[in-house]
Amino acid sequence: MKKITSFLMISVLGGILTLGGYVLFIEDDTIFIQESSGIPAYTPVNFNSLPADGNVDFTEAASKTVNAVVHVKNVGTVRQSPFSSSTAQALQGAGSGVIISPDGYIVTNNHVIQNASRLQITLNNNQNYMAEVIGTDPTTDIALLKIDAEDLDYLPFGDSDNAQIGEWVLAVGNPFNLTSTVTAGIISAKSRDLGMDSNVSSFIQTDAAVNPGNSGGALVNTYGELIGINTAITSKTGTYVGYAFAVPSNNARKIVEDILEFGDVQQGILGIRGVQAARVPGDYNLNISEGVYVDQVEDGSGADKAGIKSGDIIIRLDDVEIRKFSDLTGYIGSKRPNDIVKVQVIRSEKMKEFDVTLTKKADVYQIKVIGLEVTNATAEDLKQKNVKNGVKITRGLTPQMQNEQLYGTIITAIDNIPVKNVEDVERIMTQRSSHDPITVTFITPDGEKQKYVWR
């Protein structure tokens, strides 16, 4: 097997800090609410309507935005004194949110509302509402809330694929509990991979000042369109030093629509495993340094059925140029299963194009204690290894496990308990003591049975 998987290294930027909360005392207010209609349809603005003198005016975009960005507060009930039975409402965490419909749907970050007991929303006019969590996607750190209100100011989604490096943007939120704060900057980079939680991410990077409390707030262009949800900063001090990151609006919008329509996130995949072309070893004799080198194509996937092969270099998806792996994951993250994506590749120095129907991402589980990700094995997988049960390793989560090249290996038992699917794996890992050694039974790609013990 080609050892390209050993080069699937995810860069981790030091000091990544998600933007979060404060503690103070506040008053209780209102009640929980009911869900209503969906979000407004996207209507693109005229991107050729800049002033003739080339000057950019931030005031109109700011005025459109401040009333649509809210303060999100995680409210809990606490005892005021250990010697008293009286209680008060305390703010356990705080961040920002963006109203995306006139009837009260709000997008924020999952980490802002995670483990919340009650959520209070404060509008720019100081009106307070209690919010209901409609759905969350921890992988992308997006959450959808709902308040019981009508005729609210809201922000229309923009097309984040159209955002350009060097374009002026505004960040709007509630840093350090300062409401309705607007800062300006430019888009510093796109498809930025922060390598958080072993997932390849794809953020918009900006130098607009973003600080703790901005989490879940709006990144807007000069037309007042929402092009990102501010999510993270990288800083040794925990405050802004020039680097801030936002989830692209196309990805956030897709997650919101999935939650409203399906109740969860529908993730489509191409069905390839690859690496940035520039990281491919020199002995592969590639004449291209940009794009995604396809190392493996999953059997039965959309890429497999369309004719994509190992060794192809993906350089474009639809109209989006693919220079690195995070370009690919960012664009596919805005798509659903059964969407058709036009994939342009270089094969043997010739250009080829394929229409790939995305398939649904299989159930996966990360066994973080040993650094492996597994998925359900197909009947064909089990037949090839001559076993009756097991789950298949899809990737290593650590450099060491990536070097072991275990993709396709079958795990038949954990702690001598047979496993049939990822639910079995999750149940065993949840119930076992973290202090006990873990025994894993493998069926290697060569069909050999082996046991390993992690202590």
Give catalytic residues, as residue numbers: 111, 141, 215
Residues 6+ apart with CB under 8 A from 249: 157, 158, 159, 160, 225, 226, 227, 228, 229
* Residue 230 · residue 203 · CB < 8 Å: no
Closest CA to 208 of 162, 241, 177, 165: 241
Sign of the C-alpha dihedral computed for residues 316, 320, 326 and 328 taken in this order:
negative
* Rg of the chain, C-alpha, whole Å: 24
* Residue 374 · residue 394 · CB < 8 Å: yes
Residue 316 vs residues 205, 319, 343: alpha-carbon distances, Å: 21, 7, 6
Instruction: Give the helix, strand, coil percentages of the chain, each rounded to 5.
Output: 20, 35, 45
Three-class SS of residue 417? strand
Beta bridge partner(s), residue 343: 317, 354
Closest CA to 452 of 408, 415, 407, 421: 415
Locus of tokens 């006990």 = 436
* Residue 104 · residue 147 · CB < 8 Å: yes
Nearest 10 degrees: Cα torsion 322, 327, 330, 334: -20
Across 212-326, where does the E strand assignment appear? Answer: 218-221, 226-234, 244-248, 268-269, 272-276, 292-297, 313-317, 320-321
Residues 429 and 436: their CA atoms lie apart, in Å, by: 11
Locus of tokens 């954990």 = 414
φ and ψ at residue 423, rounded to 5 degrees: -65, -40
Nearest 10 degrees: Cα torsion 193, 199, 200, 206: -30
* Residue 145 · residue 126 · CB < 8 Å: no
* Residue 203 · residue 246 · CB < 8 Å: yes
CA distance between the termini of the chain: 29
Residues 350 and 342: their CA atoms lie apart, in Å, by: 16
Q: Tell me the pairing of strands 272-276 and 292-297.
A: antiparallel
